[in-house]
Amino acid sequence: MTDEEILGKAYDTSLMKRLLKYLRPYKWHVVLGIVLSIVVSSMEAVRPYFTKIAVDENIANGDHEGLLFTALAFLGVLVFRGLIQYFNAYLTQWIGQKTIFDLRMQVFEHLQNLGLKFYDKNPIGRLITRVTNDIEVLNEMFSSGIVMVFSDVFTIIGILYFMFSMNWKLALISLSVLPLLFYGTFLFRKKAREAYREVRIQIARINTFMQEHITGMMVDQVFNREAKSYNQFDNINAAHRDANIKSIFYYALFYPGVDLIGAIAIGLIIWYAGVEAIGGTVTIGTVMAFLQFNEMFWRPIRDLSEKYNIMQTAMASSERLFKLLDDRTMIDDPVAPVPLNAVRGDIEFRNVWFAYNPGPTDAETEWILKNISFTIKAGETAAFVGHTGAGKTTIISLLGRFYDVQKGEILIDGVNIKDIRQKDLRKHISVVLQDVFLFSGDIASNINLGNEAISFEAVQRAARTVGANGFIEQLSNTYHAEVKERGSTLSVGQKQLISFARALAFNPAILILDEATSNVDTETELLIQSAIHSLLEGRTSIVIAHRLSTIQNADKIIVMHKGEIRETGTHQELLAHGGIYYKLYQLQYKEQETGSRPVVQIGLRV
């Protein structure tokens, strides 16, 4: 069952308790809102009473002045009520908005703290729905919902009071249809609930499909899958339509049904008035007031079933939200963190075992990293090579503590990274991620990520270091040129350069380059290498690359194979060793070296 399928009861005590906590800062506002609602409702109930007085006392006695007085009093009540109603409507909205603002920020902050493991599993579209849609739904409950339920209940109570005090028999008669109403409503709810759930599921499917196929439209087109995707969508869309049509059916029955029950009540009042009239206990005014009461009585009841829907949606939404807030897929900071102000840059992995999805026992676990140990001394450049999927990216994710290791430990300057606050740890590390991500905005903000401590000069310097200044300065607004969603109007290499410049601009003690120049030409790459050479002086760096020319100067090359370290050494040592590295090297160069190129022959013989 996906989260979208959660239906929620209309009322769930534990959820409600938790929701009400959010109202606590505004509790006096809520109290005021409820008091005002009661005032408004009681004035609502007074209206037929005026009619009764006008008919039975003024009109019946031909009392002109009395009638005028009654009419004016009625008018006064109306105006007063209008004012309070206005104030109250605003007040309740205010409460709702304030509350969901708090809640939204809480959810967003929580999302920022969740670990990558969480993001590996949860589609972004769904998370966005939490921050926006689900919270929006709660607004309705917090504002109109809670306060208005009180108001409706009080209206009903008020009307009941007047009805019974005027004529309790007539009151009982007109209420005799209630069981019918309750039963009808009960049936309706059961059906409408199912239909509603179906609609929700289909909406979620429509959104996910649209989102994915709009972002991947180019793939759809180039593989001419348009017709297939269209059919796929047609199915979802039709299911959505049918679910809605089903729910229309129930509503089409329900509303006329409620009206009919109301009409039966009117019929009963008229009939019974006749019966009672013989005994002389019923006046015309009473009958008229009752007819109006009946009319007024029906509205809040109808409203209540509307409120029921609001509550039900709100409960379902809050259940999803609380589930998200309760998700602790995050990496906790140590209770007593070791401060990490300056970093030398010693890195050590000690017997590290890691799996993204650990099994129930060690034996059943598909280890991604197996017993990894290595050290990188401060100021060194270390390179990781190995077949794709060997676990290189995983190693650097662990170093930044984006995931926690299952066994073994990782040390920076001799301190276990679990004893350091993540913020402090990452502050000293810049990673150029293999998957480049640019934000919409402009070039400069993509390099400094909105960090004001990084001056515009520093941004330019970083761009120059990676040789990105060339193309940036050719753009119409240079550093303030617009970057579209994910940088869609830049070439892939250009995006990579910007992401590289970003890493440099943050001026880290440890620089990590994960295939940072895989889409960049060799010329530019070499330029970068010589440009950052002085920059790297005294800093530790880790480089992952498949193009061996990129890494040949590393102080230490670590060769990974299927989650294990197979070889370690310098370029020369590894070639001499004649293992995996040598094979990779040979593959990359041997054929260039065959034929007439003497260079190649020599290279091969190393």
Partner 1 sequence: MKSLLRLRPYLARYKRTLLLGLLTVVASNLFTVAQPTFVGHAVDSLKRGLETNNLEQTDLLFWAGAIVLFNLIAGGFTFLTRQTIIVVSRKIEYDMRNDFLGHIQKLSLSYFQNTPTGDLMAHATNDISAVRNSLGPGIMYPTDTLMTFTMAIAVMLYTDWQLTLLAMIPLPLVSFAVYRLGKLVHQKFEERQEQYSNLTTRAQENLSGIRVVKAYVREAHEIGLFRVMSFDYLKKNLVLARVQSIMWPLMFLLVGFSLVITLYVGGLRVINHNLTIGQLTAFFGYLVMLIWPMIAFGWVINILQQGAASMGRLAKILDTEPEIRDTATTDHAISHVRGEIEFRNVHFTHKGANRESLTGIDLTVPAGTTLAIVGYTGAGKSTLVNMMSRMYDVTSGELCIDGRNVKEIPLQALRSNIGYVPQETFLFSDTISENIGYGTDNGTDEHVQEAAEISRIAHDVSDFPKGYATMLGERGITLSGGQKQRTSIARAVIRTPKILILDDALSAVDTYTEEEILKRLRTIMKGRTSIIISHRISTVKDADQIIVLNEGRIVERGSHDELVDLGGIYAELHRKQLLEEELEQL
Ligand X SMILES: Nc1ncnc2c1ncn2[C@@H]1O[C@H](COP(=O)(O)OP(=O)(O)OP(=O)(O)O)[C@@H](O)[C@H]1O
* Token pair of 376 as six digits: 């990188």
Residues 6+ apart with CB under 8 A from 201: 2, 4, 5, 243
What secondary structure does DSSP assign to 96-133, as a single string? HHHHHHHHHHHHHHHHHHS-HHHHHHS-HHHHHHIIII
Q: Which is nearer to ligand X, 64 or 484 (CB)?
A: 484
Output the DSSP codes for 501-541: HHHHHT--SEEEEESTTTTS-HHHHHHHHHHHHHHHTT-EE
Question: With respect to partner 1, which residue has the nearer C-beta, 12 or 582?
Answer: 582
Q: How far is the CB of 491 from Mg ion (least distance, A)?
A: 5
Q: Are 290 and 163 in contact (CB under 8 A)?
A: yes
Which of residues 70 and 499 has its CB atom nearest to ligand X in the complex?
Answer: 499
Task: Give the whole-angstrom CA distance, residue 180 versus residue 175.
Answer: 10
120 binds ligand X (CB under 6 A): yes
Q: Give the max Cα distance, the chain.
A: 126
Least distance between Mg ion and beta carbon 560 (Å) = 28
Residue 521's identity, in one-letter code, is D
Please give the order of strands across the beta sheet that includes 407-412: 369-376, 347-354, 407-412, 415-416
Give the DSSP letter of residue 417.
Answer: G
For ligand X, which residue of 368, 420, 498, 503 counts as binding (CB under 6 A)? Answer: 368
For residue 14, the minimal CB distance to partner 1 (Å) is: 27
* 170 contacts 269 by C-beta, under 8 angstroms: yes
Residue 388 touches ligand X, criterion: CB under 6 A: yes
The reply on whether position 391 binds ligand X by CB under 6 A is yes
Residues 468-527 within binding reach of Mg ion (CB under 5 A):
491-492
Least separation in angstroms between CB 563 and ligand X: 7
Which of 435, 537 has the CB closer to ligand X?
435
Task: For Cα atoms 268, 269, 275, give the angle at the middle one, nearest 5 degrees.
Answer: 90
Q: How far is the CB of 94 from partner 1 (least distance, A)?
A: 6
Which residue, judged by CB position, is nearest to ligand X in the bound state?
493
- 492 touches ligand X (CB under 6 A): yes
Residue selected from 298, 471, 582, 589 as contacting ligand X according to rule CB under 6 A: 471
- Residue 426 CA to residue 350 CA, distance in Å, equals 20
- The interface region with ligand X, picked from 17-25, 236-244, 490-498, 568-576 by CB under 6 A, is 490-498
Stretch that binds ligand X, among 101-109, 146-154, 277-285, 489-497 (CB under 6 A): 489-497
From the list partner 1, Mg ion, ligand X, none, pick the one residue 600 interacts with, judged by a Cβ distance below 5 to 8 Å according to partner type: partner 1
Closest CA to 270 of 287, 253, 245: 287
Q: Which CB atom, from 232 or from 491, has the smaller least distance to Mg ion?
A: 491
Q: Which does 145 bind (CB under 5 to 8 A by kind): Mg ion, partner 1, ligand X, none?
A: none
Per DSSP bridges, beta strands 381-386 and 540-544 are: parallel
Measured distance CA(292)–CA(175) in Å, rounded: 14
Which residues from 511-540 bind ligand X, rule CB under 6 A? 519
Provide, rounded to whole angstroms, the least separation between the CB of residue 155 and partner 1: 13
389 touches ligand X by CB under 6 A: yes
Instruction: Name 79's Cβ contacts closer than 8 Å, sequence gap at least 6.
Output: none
Would you mind telling me the total number of residues written for the chain in this entry? 606
- How far apart CA 33 and CA 94 sit, in angstroms, is 10
From the list ligand X, partner 1, Mg ion, none, which binds 295 (C-beta under 5 to 8 Å, kind-based)? partner 1
Does residue number 489 form part of the binding site for ligand X (CB under 6 A)?
yes
Of 94-102, 177-185, 491-499, 502-510, the segment contacting ligand X by CB under 6 A is: 491-499
Nearest to 135 by CA among 114, 107, 112, 95: 107
Return the number of the residue (278 or 335) whose C-beta is nearest partner 1. 278
CB nearer to partner 1: give 11 or 594: 594
Q: Supply the minimum distance, in Å, between the C-beta of residue 20 and partner 1.
A: 20
Quick note: the x/- pattern for Mg ion over 358-387, rule CB under 5 A, is: ------------------------------
For the chain, first and last CA: distance in Å?
A: 60
Q: Which of residues 401-440 bind ligand X (CB under 6 A)?
A: 434
- Residue 491 binds ligand X (CB under 6 A): yes
**Tokens 């007047």 label which residue?**
162
Query: Which does residue 178 touch among partner 1, ligand X, Mg ion, none (CB within 5 to 8 A, set by kind)?
Result: none
Show the beta-strand stretches assigned E in 316-474.
Answer: 347-354, 369-376, 381-386, 407-412, 415-416, 429-432, 441-442
Q: Closest separation between CB of residue 583 and ligand X, Å? A: 16
Q: Which is nearer to ligand X, 80 or 356 (CB)?
A: 356
Asked if 353 contacts 370 with a C-beta cutoff of 8 angstroms, the reply is yes
- AA letter at 44: E
Instruction: Compute how many other C-beta atoms are within 10 angstroms of the C-beta atom of residue 552.
Output: 15
The interface partner of residue 172, options being Mg ion, partner 1, ligand X, none and the CB cut-off 5 to 8 Å by kind, is: none
Residue 493 binds ligand X, judged by CB under 6 A = yes
Which chain residues interact with ligand X by CB under 6 A? Answer: 120, 356, 368, 386, 388-394, 434, 471, 489-494, 519
* Contact positions vs Mg ion (CB under 5 A): 491-492
